[in-house]
Amino acid sequence: MVLTRLQWRLGPQHPHGFGFSRGVGTSDSIMALLNHVNNRTAVAVFLDLERAFELACPLAILAALVNKGIQGRLLAWIENYLQGRRARVKFQGHTSSYRTYENGTPQGSSAPFSSTS
């Protein structure tokens, strides 16, 4: 729902953007690069930004969205989604107390904790 709204406001993803696209993976981006190079000599650098989403600053994300023209209820919803998140760990029948996270983006259901907003 949010992705559809963002795409409506910002336009489609750049054709060379491969992140967060269903059915598209690393091999697709490498194939696009190889097609672009077209048998010429080239140097490519691949970066794996370990923990990039865990360390993302919500205020920086929100500022980037504002700079792109996102405003109103959509911006407020995303702000609420990114800020004031809490989580706790459940392990072997024991549950920790909640911890508030200042950085990071919400993780999928495979995360080893339960989040609440």
pLDDT tens readout for residues 52-89? 777 778 888 899 999 999 999 999 988 888 877 788 88
Q: Does the reported pTM lie above 0.85?
A: no
> Do residue 66 and residue 115 come from a single domain?
yes
> Do residue 70 and residue 26 come from a single domain?
no
> Do residue 3 and residue 34 come from a single domain?
yes
pLDDT of the residue at 72 = 92
pLDDT of the residue at 117 = 42
pLDDT of the residue at 95 = 93
With both helix axes pointing from N to C terminus, report the angle between 2-10 and 72-82 in degrees, rounded to the nearest 10. 130
pLDDT of the residue at 107 = 57
> Do residue 90 and residue 35 come from a single domain?
no
The number of distinct structural domains making up the chain is 2
Q: Are 68 and 61 in contact (CB under 8 A)?
A: no
Predicted confidence (pLDDT) at residue 114 exceeds the cutoff of 70: no
Strands 99-101 vs 85-91: parallel, antiparallel or unpaired: antiparallel
Between 27 and 95, name the one with better pLDDT.
95
Domain residue limits at 83: 52-117
Residues 2-58 have pLDDT tens digits of 778 888 888 877 777 776 677 877 788 888 888 889 888 988 887 767 677 777 788
